[in-house]
Structure 1
Amino acid sequence: MTENASSRLAEIRAEVAQACKIARRKPEDVTLIAISKTHPAEAITPLIAAGQRVFGENRVQEAQGKWPELIERHSDIALHLVGQLQSNKAEDAVALFDCIHSLDRPSLVGALAKAMDKRDKRVDLFVQVNIGAEEQKGGCAIADLPGLLDQARAAELPVVGLMCVPPAGIEAAPFFALLAKLADDHGLPGRSMGMSGDFATAVKLGATHLRVGSALFGAREG
């Protein structure tokens, strides 16, 4: 299993490097986040052994059940929350995660500011944008982005970039390009975009953080 994890990781890193070469970017400027949601610790440890150190989870409670012990054994791991965050879980998220990709509403601004002050810990944040204006998806509307950023900055939250999940089943490139433009317009260096099926395209369009799950772990469990 370790060999499989190592080979899958090497293949994805090679694809990222090739996409960076085409885009005239440095591979070290792109962070690969291994999305380990629904996968147990036994599936994660081979990737750690293969050198992966940045992981992502969708749910605070699931992460609490498997990551503290892994982090105790591997103190250099960085853990990212990439799923929706309820305001009442803000303090738990701040305690466990190094970065949160799903800031999307004013109530969460307040909850995260309070949690960071209480914990005396600053956690990097991405604002999730509902880039395809899909009713069923989280993320703030594009029209609401300036106001949300103003609120986050007024609360002295460390917003480092924007995140999006493009609509399924259609070409992702225009949505990645739009997110990159929005990030540029608002002076934000981070672009969390690109998953297992489209991360090379995302790299070519400026992604700084890739959220790759199934290409590394195989089909989801659970």
Structure 2
Amino acid sequence: MKPSKYSYADIKRTTNQFKEKLAQGAYGTMFKGKLSSELLVAVKILNNSNENGEDYINEVGTMCQVHHVNAIRLVGVCADGFTNTYQMHRRNMMTTARGTMGYIAPEIFPRNFSNVSYKSEVYSFGILLLEMVGGRKNFKVMEDASSQVYFPEWIYNLLKQGNDLRIYIGDDEVDVTIARKLAILGLWCIQWHPIDRPSMEVVVQMLEREGENLAMNPNP
């Protein structure tokens, strides 16, 4: 049976906002967690690395295929935009964010999880749009793991609260309605399920239309 997919919100609920620290080592910090099935897990947040994450992807792909009484079973993974990447085990849940993985669609990780399609590129484009609007990279590492905010969720909350989003080109400020339009379109592009994302053809059409108010999308 394939591991389940979890959202970043699921991970926060599982660990009760990373409340109970179990241990801390050279490679990361471990927190106590409980799944909705009452299964106890340990959540290990890996330290940041400058490596490209290739070994990590291969490792998780291998673990998906390993089943042995003496091996830790892989329960599931979470990769919300690959801003935060998680491995969930019966006794060990690992997280990491490496290289440019913040731009990789969730269906690409691990490679045997799902089929890659052109909608995977739409996801990457959506992240770039959100970075333009937010004026920051899609993940800001903070010392306190419990205070980490999933970047698209940060943008989504700004929109829901009615806050203005501003883009500057040099010293010139872009119209706030354009910034809002780009933000909503970016959120549509990074929906978890590829079928919910627009095609690039539709994206271009939306960008070229003037004065169009896009419908607010569900939180990715």
TM more than 0.5: no
User: Over alpha carbons, which structure has the higher Rg?
Assistant: 2
Q: Scaled by the length of structure 1, what TM-score is found? A: 0.28
Structure number with the bigger relative contact order (C-alpha 8 A, sep ≥ 6) is: 1
Q: Scaled by the length of structure 2, what TM-score is found? A: 0.28
